[in-house]
Structure 1
């Protein structure tokens, strides 16, 4: 039966339809979708004072005629509406029998039928319970297999993972009926590649039995043991980045000219298709591995690639012209520099390049490579589409290097109306910059999505503006000097926003990654009324005028040492303006007028010996503000605390965070070490770790995996979780 009310009306006797039409009035609700659309368009023309063309008048008259409905037609329309609702309900009841089509409220009931247990939705694969309930059948079919365990680990943690059956790597007495030629009691000492993997997830060497329990993560090689290996540090790309020259023969991959390990680009693996291999996980590339598998790591779209830039021509260096060497320091230069024409030497451990002997004068090098870090923050080529997708096209958009080769020229070209300067490459720009935002307007200096330019300042970056003006920086790596908001009488800048940027702690770095200027701040605001906002960024020390304010979220403020000043006024000692911190890690001393809110953060500071400061963390107004779920160094003088560390832990040691490293440039920079107690690793208000990596939710990811392992392990087996990074 048709649910079209016009069709239903035609089923009635003609006499009833004629009588109903005599009492009919125009009703837009009686029209079908196409007629209703035409009516609204034509009526809009009439309402605006327009005149319909003859063709439009004909359509308008026909539509109004079809829209005539009497009392009986209106009743039939109401019945049709209710029948349609009933039919839709019946169809939905059928759809609710399937997880792919059921209503949202049905998902938990279907999950309960198959014994599904809810997880923390901290990764894309399990963010939707519907998807995971749908996948549960696939998991159950493979329950107990090592391939299933590995796939589960990848899905519920969102990290690269592999599963290892340790009983396959135990030295056993051989049976002549079941010979295992790979189970050699003594390893081949001439196989360097195998020995390099010793005690890792991909260790091919057989071991003697270990009777300690794997659940305590101390024992490994025993018959019931399964090891789940996780890589919590991911690899992030940098493409078309200029290599930094030490001299004509020596170059470095990193655009700041520091030694940094190169990481492998983790190639994706099809679900349930097999076990992960080293090329499927993000790990530092060793010299032996790169030498043995150059075709897997070197090339376009892989882990690294060299280019020669000569007179505007970009030429990729073929793999046959690249050899892998140890380019460590030796006798005032580097060891093993190439001596053959046309050959390059690459050291992936130090991130160094030995250039060819016959490199033409004026030729520079560019590189594609991967570096390691724990999360998408600071300057990077990760997805920032939400930051760069404007709701409407900017009235004034200047592109670098498309419109101007230099950033300062692009800023000057914006003129008196402000606008956006967008950098569309991952190049290196060495220049002096000054930004002056017009009154009631803004200037945005940003990297395009998918790029991370490096700006090396040759002088302080001077920022200013008129009344109610704003300057916004996004997606940049800035080194060389300080961002300065001067105290000039005409400077009335209202907002300075720094998002997804890295302002190198210590201004510049030595080749070993140590800071050059430890006591020089990264941001210096010496004018009142400025609201500084920092999001998902890494910055050095901050100096803020007492009548300005700073608000940081999901960021690192690193003064390069706990005894240096992370936050204060321009004189490095007086109180800076109001400071708010959410999900931040701060290294260095703090002196603020007020701390309105400090939440889920780690404040690492201590007094030097001697020191003019009376406490490592000081707020002048103790009656204003709140500190919650935050670690505070001993001796801090702050407003009221709620559930802060180390007080909320059983002992001071269990409530003190320990970091893998606090040196910027290291892959594990600002990452909590697993030796930190549970009180620290779950010390935030969402049971995650406090600090900058709160959103990573490492504790929840690990908890998800433990919950699933208890469900999918074979009877009698026991699993342990090991972090490869």
Structure 2
């Protein structure tokens, strides 16, 4: 009951009766007064909730932080990087189209009192570091790593340098999990130096996340007993899950953070498996690292599991269990592939390349499935991260579901046939799992809108029927692919209105054959026919080149990586986005990375990373903001870039600062200053190969002008949404607050 109703009910009945006789003007007056009374009551209630950090409004978080004596951290949820996406993609659920990054300032303030009660302890420092930056961290105590001169009456065997290292010790040497002790290092703990000092503490930040793939079908190689676990047929290293809360046995602490699964670590886990069994009893089914991934109760730290069809492959010694395949799991190098099958009932796994070989005594499965983790630099390309805001909103004319079980259709081709036979103008086909699905050679969207989207946390693989994996899109309608991996490429026919890819992966270099080589290297998207109204919109995608043989209206890229050149080489000599002859298409890009040359009619780019030449046909339109563009070579004027006006771009900004600091420099001295600064300020990437975990990711050695050169102080390029500089700054603030007196702290970003 509203305040107006309550006031009206308190009036005498005779007055209410007379008011009703004349059209209830008194009720209308009380309704106006009641609106203000309701607003006042809501404000009073809101003021009560603003006293608590859990329920207060965002603008009051800094005030509550001051009350408990802490400094608010940078909160990535306040970023406005999704403004363009919200305008362009108004048919999505939203309300936010920006991935979460780092710790919440509200949660940090809420934890302050509880953490301060443990201030000065190692566990509290590790906990604060983890929550401050939002990355998995490992605390390296210099006191426990430094070798001491031993007293004969009080020996410390763990602090001696004479212990014979094992294979695992050698594999972990130089990492945050190095178990050997060293002599004192008096340098400041920064990067890989200064770790070994009694008064030093180093926070090792593991910025790459472990992307989960749950029971996905593996790709069969050139022999029926050879498999690649990656569903796209790539040789990609497996990662540890990175579960800090799991109870890890001694020697396997390296599995507490997401990192490449080292063969020595995996082998040590498998060899320790017999020692975990009870005397005379059967072995437990999972080891620490090998087990049914996702089973929190029985395998909380499992990073790899293999199934033959629906039967789990396990090293247990209980052959009576017919629901499992009993095999000895071995860590082996399978690159190059062995000429013959391994002998016996064994499952050989190469964790460095993600390969599996089935032993001669095991039956070959119809489908080999794997649950494992890959390394990923950000939330790009689809996968196991939250995409709920990017799903189609509203009620479409037709909604079809596709899954192996419990769906409208079990194949995507059947769902497309049902869509083509119907009259619906707006159709959403939702794929509910991460299986492989075949696509027809072409899709016609004449006058219609078709959305093929993966359910949240899923990434199915779509395989077009042609041998080269080309999916031809015809008609004058709209096609949207969301959250899928396309094992092929897209070619558009004439008159298409819009092609939209959201959180998708189009394998640079095209699909792979059974040997892992590209079937036919080429662009990921080709516009072949005249499409003057075509708009190509890409958001949070990983793909190869975009080639426009005919003019289109616009290419929009948000938070994406466009990698040109062969899949196994660099992109320096190939177009990333280009038109044939005179460019006839406008390019609009925000927070994207281009590994190759770019040519367009007009260019409007912000916070982008261009690694090669940029050519804009019309330099009077557009702008280049907070971006990096390689400097021109004076010896090759024909290969110089042509750009619109630039604002706060690198290395121009760095060169201007150097020259302003030394205004007396002229001639050769001035040229030397410019050349040195241009050589210093250039992007350093971890890798240009898609199958590497650090694909298109900035190396920690990258200069700050690029690593923190975006408008809000984050990095330029596709991983701007990670907000790494701000999260590391949060970590530094908390270390200054929680470090014990006399201790020096350093931060190391692990690649």
Q: CA deviation at 1:78?
A: 6.8
Give per-residue Cα distances to partners, 1:597-627, cap 9 Å, x unaligned: 111001112xxxxxxxxxx321111111111
Distance verdict in 2 for CA 1:525–1:267, change over 3 Å? farther
Report if aligned partners of 1:474, 1:498 keep a CA contact under 8 Å in 2: yes
Distance verdict in 2 for CA 1:587–1:97, change over 3 Å? closer
Q: CA deviation at 1:213?
A: 1.4
Give per-residue Cα distances to partners, 1:416-440, cap 9 Å, x unaligned: 435223333322345543111131x
Quote the Cα distance in structure 1 between the aligned partners of 2:208 and 2:62: 33
Corresponding residue number in structure 1 for 2:312: 316
Moved more, 453-462 or 224-233: 453-462
Any idea what SS the aligned residue of 1:562 has? Answer: coil
Corresponding residue number in structure 2 for 1:617: 614
Distance verdict in 2 for CA 1:278–1:81, change over 3 Å? same
Corresponding residue number in structure 2 for 1:345: 348
Q: 1:157 aligns with which of 125, 130, 133?
A: 133
Once the two structures are superposed, the pairs formed by residues 30-41 of structure 1 within 5 Å of their partners are none
Distance verdict in 2 for CA 1:523–1:89, change over 3 Å? closer
Q: 2:237 aligns with which of 261, 266, 272?
A: 261
In our comparison, the structure showing a higher alpha carbon Rg is 1
Q: 2:504 aligns with which of 501, 506, 522?
A: 501
1:604 equivalenced with 2:601 (yes/no): no
Distance verdict in 2 for CA 1:156–1:175, change over 3 Å? same
Q: 1:122 aligns with which of 69, 72, 76?
A: 76
Q: CA deviation at 1:686?
A: 1.2
Q: What TM-score do you get using the length of structure 2 for normalisation?
A: 0.79
In structure 1, stretches of 5+ residues that fail to align are 11-15, 31-67, 606-615
Q: CA deviation at 1:293?
A: 2.3
Quote the Cα distance in structure 2 between the aligned partners of 1:79 and 1:515: 71
1:242 equivalenced with 2:247 (yes/no): no
Q: CA deviation at 1:485?
A: 0.9
Q: CA deviation at 1:121?
A: 0.7
Corresponding residue number in structure 2 for 1:43: none
Q: CA deviation at 1:221?
A: 0.7
Q: CA deviation at 1:289?
A: 1.5
Distance verdict in 2 for CA 1:156–1:85, change over 3 Å? same
Quote the Cα distance in structure 1 between the aligned partners of 2:522 and 2:167: 45
Report if aligned partners of 2:314, 2:329 keep a CA contact under 8 Å in 1: no
Report if aligned partners of 2:103, 2:134 keep a CA contact under 8 Å in 1: no
Quote the Cα distance in structure 2 between the aligned partners of 1:353 and 1:70: 77
Report if aligned partners of 1:513, 1:665 keep a CA contact under 8 Å in 2: no
Q: CA deviation at 1:365?
A: 1.1
Quote the Cα distance in structure 1 between the aligned partners of 2:599 and 2:44: 66
Report if aligned partners of 1:325, 1:336 keep a CA contact under 8 Å in 2: no
Corresponding residue number in structure 2 for 1:292: 268
Distance verdict in 2 for CA 1:80–1:289, change over 3 Å? closer
1:640 equivalenced with 2:645 (yes/no): yes
Corresponding residue number in structure 1 for 2:627: 630
Report if aligned partners of 1:398, 1:414 keep a CA contact under 8 Å in 2: no
Q: 1:707 aligns with which of 733, 741, 744?
A: 733
Corresponding residue number in structure 1 for 2:277: none
Any idea what SS the aligned residue of 1:172 has? Answer: coil
Q: 1:138 aligns with which of 114, 121, 126?
A: 114
Distance verdict in 2 for CA 1:234–1:99, change over 3 Å? closer
Report if aligned partners of 1:502, 1:538 keep a CA contact under 8 Å in 2: yes
Distance verdict in 2 for CA 1:629–1:103, change over 3 Å? closer
Q: CA deviation at 1:253?
A: 0.8
Corresponding residue number in structure 2 for 1:200: 175
Q: CA deviation at 1:483?
A: 0.8
Any idea what SS the aligned residue of 1:259 has? Answer: coil
Q: CA deviation at 1:343?
A: 2.1
Corresponding residue number in structure 1 for 2:694: 668
Quote the Cα distance in structure 1 between the aligned partners of 2:23 and 2:67: 47
Corresponding residue number in structure 2 for 1:366: 369
Distance verdict in 2 for CA 1:85–1:210, change over 3 Å? same
Quote the Cα distance in structure 1 between the aligned partners of 2:403 and 2:48: 56
Give per-residue Cα distances to partners, 1:202-235, cap 9 Å, x unaligned: 1221111011111475322112100101111111
Report if aligned partners of 2:384, 2:458 keep a CA contact under 8 Å in 1: yes
Report if aligned partners of 2:383, 2:459 keep a CA contact under 8 Å in 1: yes
Q: What TM-score do you get using the length of structure 1 for normalisation?
A: 0.81
Report if aligned partners of 2:560, 2:593 keep a CA contact under 8 Å in 1: yes
Give per-residue Cα distances to partners, 1:251-300, cap 9 Å, x unaligned: 111122222111111225399xx999323211111222123324111121
Any idea what SS the aligned residue of 2:158 has? Answer: coil
Quote the Cα distance in structure 1 between the aligned partners of 2:463 and 2:707: 36
Quote the Cα distance in structure 1 between the aligned partners of 2:645 and 2:706: 20
Quote the Cα distance in structure 2 between the aligned partners of 1:628 and 1:230: 30
1:556 equivalenced with 2:561 (yes/no): yes
Moved more, 84-93 or 680-689: 84-93
Q: 2:67 aligns with which of 95, 100, 113?
A: 113
Q: CA deviation at 1:196?
A: 2.0
1:534 equivalenced with 2:515 (yes/no): no
Report if aligned partners of 1:299, 1:319 keep a CA contact under 8 Å in 2: no
Once the two structures are superposed, the pairs formed by residues 172-187 of structure 1 within 5 Å of their partners are 172-175=148-151, 178-187=154-163
Quote the Cα distance in structure 1 between the aligned partners of 2:647 and 2:342: 61
Corresponding residue number in structure 2 for 1:168: 144
Any idea what SS the aligned residue of 1:649 has? Answer: helix
Quote the Cα distance in structure 1 between the aligned partners of 2:225 and 2:598: 45
Report if aligned partners of 1:208, 1:221 keep a CA contact under 8 Å in 2: yes
Q: CA deviation at 1:684?
A: 1.0
Corresponding residue number in structure 1 for 2:332: 326
Q: CA deviation at 1:661?
A: 0.7
Distance verdict in 2 for CA 1:515–1:688, change over 3 Å? farther
Report if aligned partners of 1:497, 1:532 keep a CA contact under 8 Å in 2: yes
Give per-residue Cα distances to partners, 1:346-382, cap 9 Å, x unaligned: 1111211110214446633111111111112113232
1:232 equivalenced with 2:232 (yes/no): no
Give per-residue Cα distances to partners, 1:539-559, cap 9 Å, x unaligned: 111122224321111101111
Distance verdict in 2 for CA 1:522–1:326, change over 3 Å? farther
Corresponding residue number in structure 2 for 1:446: 453
Distance verdict in 2 for CA 1:591–1:186, change over 3 Å? same
In structure 2, stretches of 5+ residues that fail to align are 78-99, 271-286, 295-301, 317-326, 566-570, 632-639, 656-676
Quote the Cα distance in structure 2 between the aligned partners of 1:92 and 1:390: 31
Number of corresponding residues: 646
Any idea what SS the aligned residue of 2:615 has? Answer: strand
Report if aligned partners of 1:523, 1:540 keep a CA contact under 8 Å in 2: no
Give per-residue Cα distances to partners, 1:158-180, cap 9 Å, x unaligned: 11112121111111122356442
